């Protein structure tokens, strides 16, 4: 479902106006920024709902409507963004894909690979080769 930012969310028992959506988005972003819970492989919708003092149904509806994706895709996107934003600081190119996946919160390299490709339109190996090639010039 494509919704415009600022639209109210109405889903089942969840009804949020623009101000409530912005506040919940702020709380979610703060949690992600400060605690980086997505780096834990078993971080779940249930755990995030507890962290935000919401029901799992409220959080699920919010993520689906506000971010336009399910919870797994949302958390995996954060994991990929973490990898991409720390590339300059961490020596990823000398690590195995399995190690990178685990350090970014994925349970295995296949899930990491699929999420990476979904978010960047290339495989992690190709991305790392491209980065290595740019750094060697």
Per-domain residue ranges of the chain:
9-68, 79-136
Amino acid 3: pLDDT: 47
Q: What is the pLDDT of residues 94-110, one digit of tens each?
A: 888 899 999 999 999 99
Class of domain 79-136: mainly alpha
Q: What is the pLDDT of residues 16-57, one digit of tens each?
A: 788 989 999 999 999 999 999 999 999 999 999 999 999 999
User: Is 70 exceeded by the pLDDT of residue 135?
Assistant: no
Residues 88 and 131: their CA atoms lie apart, in Å, by 10
- pTM for this model (two decimals): 0.85
Amino acid 134: pLDDT: 62
- Of the pLDDT bands very low, low, confident and very high (cuts 50, 70, 90), residue 9 is low
Contact 16, 8 (CB under 8 A): yes
């Amino acid at each position: 479902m494509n919704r415009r930012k600022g639209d109210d969310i109405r889903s089942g028992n969840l009804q949020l106006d623009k101000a409530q959506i912005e506040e919940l988005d702020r709380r979610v972003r703060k949690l992600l920024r400060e605690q980086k819970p997505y780096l834990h492989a078993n971080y779940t919708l249930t755990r995030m709902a507890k962290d935000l003092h919401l029901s799992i149904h409220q959080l699920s509806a919010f993520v689906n409507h506000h971010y336009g994706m399910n919870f797994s895709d949302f958390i995996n996107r954060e994991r990929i963004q973490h990898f991409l934003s720390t590339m300059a600081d961490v020596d990823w190119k000398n690590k195995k894909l399995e190690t990178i996946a685990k350090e970014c919160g994925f349970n295995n390299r296949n899930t990491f690979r699929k999420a990476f490709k979904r978010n960047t339109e290339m495989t992690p190996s190709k991305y790392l080769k491209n980065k290595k090639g740019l750094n060697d010039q």
